[in-house]
Structure 1
Amino acid sequence: MIFGIHPVREAIEAGTEIEKIYFRKTAGESLTAADRTNAGAASALREQAEEAGIHIQEVPVEKLNRLTRNGNHQGVAAVIAAISYKDINELAEELEAQIAAGEAPLVMLIDSVTDIRNFGAIARSAECAGVAALIMPAKNSAPVNAEAIKSSAGALTLIPVSRVGSLKGAVALLRNIGMQCVAATEKSDTLVYETDFTRPTVIVMGAEDKGISRDILNLCDMRACIPLAGRIESLNVGAAAAVVLFEARRQRFEQG
């Protein structure tokens, strides 16, 4: 955590990986003269953060006081990312080279998974299954923090993670280099066991409550479901990801 207008600005300009920036919510609050002085600089910083694609959130001053332990935050605090993210274009180039060499990379793309424990479980299963990279949205996603790393048993420090502003753009890019996109969803009559995962594949998993968004679902090449025999309608996304990943791993193992 870093705080204060100038330290946060310097971190952005230095290219520091920033998970999120909290700005003081000023609507309806009484401001001191110092607060009003900082407001202009904080507004300019907010524009800079938005241009850099950094997720921002407005919070009451009480939360900023707690986060900074009553430090001189000037209405701004930033959470530094616990890992270095992989650029999606650089990742695509590496995957394309692997495909050209006759390999079949496996990638996991998660659409708005916000629960840290599920996110960590997905990363752990992905690393154990030999996934080449994990792709996640910059917004509406679980933070990559110490708790997430612990939930992943350290997998998030081992597997490349790409955080993108547009999941649609990422899907289009990966399809363009020759990867098929398979949506893991109950909205399918095709079982995961009937799906060919031996090809270069992006497995798409959706949010815990809403599943994969319609826009992303429509971009996928195919949909596959996990057959359930019990009375509960679905697995949580962490368990579902493990099932799909290791079905892909099984197929590749049998193929040799």
Structure 2
Amino acid sequence: MKNESLIFGIRTIIEAINSGKTIDKIFIQKGLQGELSRELMNLLKKEKLSFSQVPVEKLNKLTRKNHQGVVAYISPIEFHDLENLTMQIIESGETPLFLILDQLSDVRNFGAIIRTAECTGVHGIIIQKKGGAPVSADTVKTSTGAIFKIPICKVDHIKDAMFYLQGSGIQIVAASEKAAVPIYDIDLKTPTAIVMGSEGKGISNSVLKIADHMAKLPMYGEIASLNVSVACGVFLYEAIRQRL
């Protein structure tokens, strides 16, 4: 991760949060004490920002400078509000095409998916605040800059975002090997949000239950699985094929 996205020091991080900077990750030394640290913790609670408590050795690896027990990464992009973005797309008269990433963890896969999504005209990518791959310098590099051209929405809970999209007339299509039908049998010409799961576990069962459709890709090899960014590309280009 590039050093320019890293900030450290309690007061510095408090000021960054208060100035509206989008903080991607915060690491706080275990057992940190003091009035200023309590002020930071209260601010994190107020702003509903998640953080990780780590040993001081972890912080010392991130920076050799006087970090005062706190290190954070500033996101290289500003995130979009899902409701505002959805309304803008619907009002524009375009047929919405969203991509939902459920706990995707690899930044290179994330970057590759962003690049494909931009090329296929996806209107927005939805990720969860906790548990997914960070929007880091590595993500920016792998996306070859596409991350600056496509709106990304960070939400508290993927399921709530799905309920909102469904309430806005947008169907949810989950990519799953558990599906009975191939993606080619799903009508993607209508407003659609495609859900892709994590590299190891796929889409969580609670998310699958909410989806309007489950769809799979035909598999003929012995491995019977694709890299998630490759599978995502196939799904998105099938949507484009149907919409041409």
Instruction: Calculate the TM-score normalised by the size of structure 2.
Output: 0.93
In the alignment, structure 2 segments of 5+ residues that lack a partner are 1-5
Matched, 1:53 2:48: yes
Q: Distance in 2 between matches of 1:50 and 1:122?
A: 32
Identify the residue that residue 75 of structure 1 maps to in structure 2.
69
* 8 Å contact kept, 1:136–1:164: yes
Name the SS of the counterpart of 1:203 in structure 2: strand
Name the SS of the counterpart of 1:211 in structure 2: coil
Paired amino acid for 1:233: A
Which of 241, 246, 249 is the equivalent residue of 2:240? 249
Which of 6, 19, 42 is the equivalent residue of 2:11? 6
Identify the residue that residue 155 of structure 2 maps to in structure 1.
164
Matched, 1:223 2:223: no
Which of 60, 64, 74 is the equivalent residue of 1:65? 60
How far 1:47 sits from its partner (Å)? 3.5
Cα deviation, 1:118-159, whole Å, max 9, x if unaligned, reads 111111110111000111011111111111111111111111
Paired amino acid for 1:56: F
Cα deviation, 1:50-88, whole Å, max 9, x if unaligned, reads 33232311111122123232x222211111001111112
Q: Distance in 2 between matches of 1:129 and 1:55?
A: 32
Q: Distance in 1 between matches of 2:89 and 2:215?
A: 23
Q: Distance in 2 between matches of 1:183 and 1:51?
A: 34
Within 5 A, what are the aligned runs for 1:106-121?
106-121=97-112
Name the SS of the counterpart of 1:162 in structure 2: strand
* 8 Å contact kept, 1:113–1:208: yes
In the alignment, structure 1 segments of 5+ residues that lack a partner are 27-34
Q: Distance in 2 between matches of 1:133 and 1:42?
A: 36
Q: Distance in 1 between matches of 2:62 and 2:28?
A: 12
Report percent identity of matched pairs: 44
Which of 3, 9, 22 is the equivalent residue of 1:17? 22
Cα deviation, 1:32-57, whole Å, max 9, x if unaligned, reads xxx64x3x432441232133232311
Name the SS of the counterpart of 1:77 in structure 2: strand
Name the SS of the counterpart of 2:25 in structure 1: strand
RMSD: 1.4
After TM superposition, the runs of 4+ consecutive aligned structure 1 residues lying more than 3 A away are none
How far 1:215 sits from its partner (Å)? 1.6
Number of residue pairs aligned between Structure 1 and Structure 2:
239
Q: Distance in 1 between matches of 2:160 and 2:139?
A: 25
Name the SS of the counterpart of 1:215 in structure 2: helix
Instruction: Calculate the TM-score normalised by the size of structure 1.
Output: 0.89
In terms of Rg, which structure is larger? 1
Matched, 1:209 2:224: no
How far 1:96 sits from its partner (Å)? 3.0
